[in-house]
Structure 1
């Protein structure tokens, strides 16, 4: 196989994988917006998360009471610049009725922003695959 074919295959595969992940996340966000239970949570801590590839980052820990009154704690899925939340801050939370542990912070930058980012990255990889194919 030539290097161009390998590049096309890799960029195409990554693009499709990221697009599918973005589409799956968009369905999750849509379902949460439509059917999710809304409540308020409190940022109770920020924990250090060590990543091998990019070094440490901080993840906010949010606590809230579910429908039954049980305390639930979760960390945000998206981390990085602009995604932090100050300890003590009250934030909107949405979660599926059957699974409070799958809660999300109900803010644009924590729900819609990551979906748009994944869709954009997937399209960029597919565009690169097309560009590589066009130069062969």
Structure 2
């Protein structure tokens, strides 16, 4: 494989791997160390994903442990907004130092977050293989 092509491929897949691992780590950190409270759906914002397909992102109002009312969104939306209705209550976890970062229990999938992490590790393995072949 041409060295330049290998470098470009490794750079792109390493960037994707780091993004996936960071996303997985951020979610797991909220699951493990986030402050748990009840939040209420204020409204659902419609957006599009990377492919242009519609996705729905709930805006959640909640009170921090200090009693401050906040509104925040999870990092990802869902393709079917019928699960989310204004007024619904959800158990959430928020980061105490940055309450704008939330994880919604039973909405955000822990399995998906693990899969994102595994995808990131797989990409790093592909990078190592490509580099090994290139340096021979």
Query: Match of 1:75?
Result: 73
Question: Contact between 1:11 and 1:126, CA under 8 Å: does it hold in 2?
Answer: no
SS, match of residue 79 in structure 1: coil
Alignment RMSD: 3.6
Q: Give the TM-score normalised by the residue count of structure 2.
A: 0.69
Following superposition, the deviation at residue 38 of structure 1 comes to 0.5
CA–CA separation in structure 2 for the residues paired with 1:84 and 1:101: 24
Determine helix, strand or coil for the equivalent of 2:39. Answer: strand
For residue 71 of structure 2, give the secondary structure of its aligned residue in structure 1. Answer: strand
* Counterpart residue number, 1:40: 38
Specify the alignment match of 1:90 in structure 2. Answer: 89
CA distances 1:81-103 after superposition (whole Å, capped 9, x unpaired) = 36874113322211122221112
Return the alpha-carbon distance in structure 2 between the equivalents of residues 32 and 99 of structure 1.
11
Comparing 25-34 with 80-89, which one deviates more in the overlay? 80-89
| TM-score (normalised: structure 1) | 0.69
Which residue number corresponds to residue 103 of structure 2?
A: 104
Tell me which moved more, 31-40 or 109-118.
Answer: 109-118
Q: CA 1:35/1:52 → structure 2, altered by over 3 Å: closer, same or farther?
A: closer
CA drift at 1:9: 3.1
Give the corresponding residue for 2:19: 21
- Distance in 1 between the 2:40 and 2:51 partners? 30
SS of 1:100's equivalent? strand
- CA separation of 1:99 and 1:58: change in aligned 2, threshold 3 A: same
Would you say 1:9 and 2:10 are equivalent positions?
no
The runs of 5 or more residues in structure 1 that have no matched partner are none
